[in-house]
Amino acid sequence: MNLRLRSATVALLCGSALLATATASTEPERFADEVAERHDLDAGHLRTVLAAAEHDERVLERIASPAEGLPWHDYREIFLTEERLEAGLGYWAEHQDLLAEIHDEHRVPEPVILAILGVESYYGTRRGDHRVLDALTTLGFSDHPRAGFFRDELEAFLLLSAENEWDATEPTGSYAGALGKPQFIPSSYRAYAVDQDGDGRRDLLDNPADAAGSAAHYLARHGWEPDAPVARAVEAEGSAWRDALAATDRPVAPRQSVDELAGLGVEVPDELDGDTPAALIELEGEDGTELWLTLQNFYVLTRYNHSALYAMAVHQLAEALAREHAE
């Protein structure tokens, strides 16, 4: 390569690198301006907030290998522990009147509310160690397949911070940007959080009443059926039932009737009416596969977190809490 051609190539490469750097550095600024225009906010302030965000490599590592990717028996061991059960019973004793009030208002059982808080944040004591701002900017301005979703959540977080007069650089949460005792993503916080104690604020970070009430409200708004079952372990004959298995990495909607599943060889419980909508999932148990008939309330739990493993952990922790509390 002659000297003139090499110099031109170097200049071109340097120019491309500078352009890429400039594009990367201005993308959050453009985002700040767009959010400010859409919501009549101070663009300069939003630019300053986003400029304070730091890339968090741990976020990318954790989202690439979530606990929900484990086999069910390993996932279960994380959440179904004696320590978590005892902590839940203690939390129940401390907030018994509050939880009863929330049950009366939202018609979601106390053990289910507790199990949500127990799985999500160990009853509010483990709420994540990532700055929410860092997590959402890291994911939102990356090549992650759901980068658009996380930019939307970043926008919701900036609005949430403005509405609550937060310093947006301070709240911490999960690697996916969920925050508070019930671990709501920012858009869910804005849509479903409630002021349970009537103090004029919806505080999911430090207020036990608002946190528990909001978890119950979320389930109720997504179709929780009072006094209805969640899931039942079943067995099946033959192999026709395999065609009915639902995926476990997305909300498990009950799309078939109990009678239809029975016709495929599933041995359904007598307590369920034949026209009850249901789904069928298979999980990896420690001693082999487990077959579960899941119902509307299980579907609602998978709306909170799209993993069937998560929903099953909440369901089984709730059942354990109810048993122990009754003794």
User: Which are the catalytic amino acids?
Assistant: 120
**Pair 8, 2: CB distance under 8 Å:** no
d(C-alpha 305, C-alpha 248), whole Å? 11
Rama region for 234: left / alpha / beta (φ>0; ψ in -120 to 50; rest) = beta
| Residues whose CB is less than 8 angstroms from the CB of residue 292 and which lie 6 or more positions away in sequence, other chains included | 231, 232, 233, 234, 280, 281, 282, 283, 312
197 is written with which tokens? 């104690």
Residue with tokens 């869910």: 188
Is there a contact between 220 and 237 (Cβ–Cβ < 8 Å)?
no
DSSP secondary structure string, 66-95?
Answer: -GGGS-HHHHHHHHS-HHHHHHHHHHHHHT
Tokens encoding 124? 């509010």
DSSP assignment of 21-62: HHHHHHHHHHHHHHHHHHHT--HHHHHHHHHT----HHHHHH
User: Among 127, 117, 129, 126, which Cα is nearest to 208's?
Assistant: 117
E strand intervals along the chain: 130-131, 172-173, 231-236, 256-257, 266-267, 277-285, 288-294
Contact 63, 142 (CB under 8 A): no
**What's the token pair of residue 46?**
């939003």
Q: How far apart are CA 177 and CA 127, in angstroms?
A: 11
